[in-house]
Amino acid sequence: MNRAAIVGIGHSKFGKRMDVSINELAWEAVKPALDDSGLSQNDIEFHAVGNLGFWSEELLPAVTVGEYCGFNSGSMKTEAACASGSAALKVAYDSIISGNTKIAMAIGVEKMYNSPNPTVIELIGRAGNYFWEFENFGLTFPGYYALYATRYLNEYNASEYDLCLASIKAHHYGSLNPNAQFQKEISYEDCINSKYIAWPLKLYDSSPITDGAAAVILASDKVAKKITDTPIYIDAQGYATGSANLSRREDFTGLNASKRAAEMAYKRAGIDDPKKSFDLFEVHDCFTIAEVMAYEDLGLAKKGKGVQLLREGQTYHDGKFPTNSDGGLKAKGHPIGATGISMAVEIAKQLRNEAEKGRQVKVSKGRALSHNVGGTGHYAYVTIFSRSD
């Protein structure tokens, strides 16, 4: 089997981006990725675009982004709800390791502010089982995750104060990330006094509506070594699909799909103990409760003990499990189709020791993980990256 390595990364400013079209926004990530790799558009043999796009003016972004960026390659759009970016990464990754393609690009882009609120909330809400839960019960995403939070807090003696610890950490690292939507620290009081969105989740428990783009260029091992001295390899991916119906979930304190995706990824990469294997975790913290569940689903803490990692500060850079060094979905922002690629960009940057001051993690194991969830565990993708070959 061929190996695939990241040889170029690019990332737009995340935030409210009414100043650009979706194609222009994608270019803000594609251009630096090309520059970073020293490649030109003609070198890209296939490009996959992660995008949800219900709210877009352009419904075929793979074509319009590809043309605006000057590509001459084959293409498709991928959708796996909030894991659409990781699905695009899978397409590019498989294209390389299959041997069919030498150089491929995975782009994630989303322009959500185009859609007037609350339409965007309604459209995100349909990213589950429309007929039963959205139409009949009116559940939207804060509501979905509030169900998980309620159960978790009750079951494991945790509190809204505990969840705020995740938000404070996210805003701390976001404050150091020039591409983050929110670049300011928040206090305990800011979080705990913020308004309820869906009890017990508050404004500061929730990731924002975001416009943004991210891009990675992948190449086969042989080609990668000619392009860069710091290839970042994709060692393995795991993926799983969960029930579309929350009413069929047996567990409301974790995401079954996340667990299965992580197990598959660990097995494929030969990881025996995830607690000893990674310098950095990029996890899907669309809500603070999602970060706590991710700790447990990824095997970093036992059931009900994820919240303890927050209390002990173990997911700060000086703790055991540095997590979301870019501010995470909470502070960096969550432009749906871009999020999975944004995680890959951050990991490559960190494993190359190129992150901004204060954000750079200590790279000793040379390995990092991204955990990208679509819906409420409808989809899950776990990807393992490494610096050395």
Give me the least distance between CB of 60 and a second copy, in Å please: 6
What separation in angstroms does the CA of 318 have from each of 73, 251, 301?
A: 43, 32, 17
Which CB, 96 or 355, lies closer to a second copy?
Answer: 96
- Rule CB under 8 A: which residues touch a second copy? 1, 21, 46-47, 54, 57-60, 62-64, 66-67, 71-81, 84, 87, 90-91, 93-95, 97-100, 123, 126-131, 237-245, 261, 264, 268, 374-375, 378-379, 381
- Residue 82 CB, shortest distance to a second copy, in Å, is 11
Q: How far is the CB of 134 from a second copy (least distance, A)?
A: 10
d(C-alpha 127, C-alpha 243), whole Å: 12
> Nearest-CA neighbor of 211 among 333, 298, 116, 326?
333
Backbone phi, psi, residue 30, to 5°? -65, -45
What gap in Å lies between CA 156 and CA 159, rounded to an integer? 9
Nearer to a second copy, 76 or 187 (CB): 76
- Of the two residues 190 and 221, which places its CB atom closer to a second copy in the complex? 221
Least spacing, CB of residue 243 vs a second copy, in Å: 6
Calpha distance 322→188 (Å, rounded): 20
Bridge partner residues of 236 (DSSP): 384
Strands 367-374 and 4-11: unpaired
| Beta carbons within 10 angstroms of residue 62's beta carbon | 22
Given 11, 171, 317, 334, which residue is catalytic? 334
Catalytic residue among 82, 164, 191, 286: 82
CA 39 to chain centre: 25
User: 378 an active-site residue?
Assistant: no
- Which lies closer to a second copy via its Cβ, residue 74 or residue 304? 74
- Supply the minimum distance, in Å, between the C-beta of residue 331 and a second copy: 27
Q: Please say if 47 is a catalytic residue.
A: no
**Is omega for the bond preceding 322 within 30 degrees of 0, making it cis?**
no
Residue-wise DSSP of 284-340: --SBHHHHHHHHHHTTSS-TT-HHHHHHHTTTSTTSSS-B-TT-HHHHH---GGGHH
Residue 4 or 153 having the CB closest to a second copy: 4
Active-site amino acid positions = 82, 334
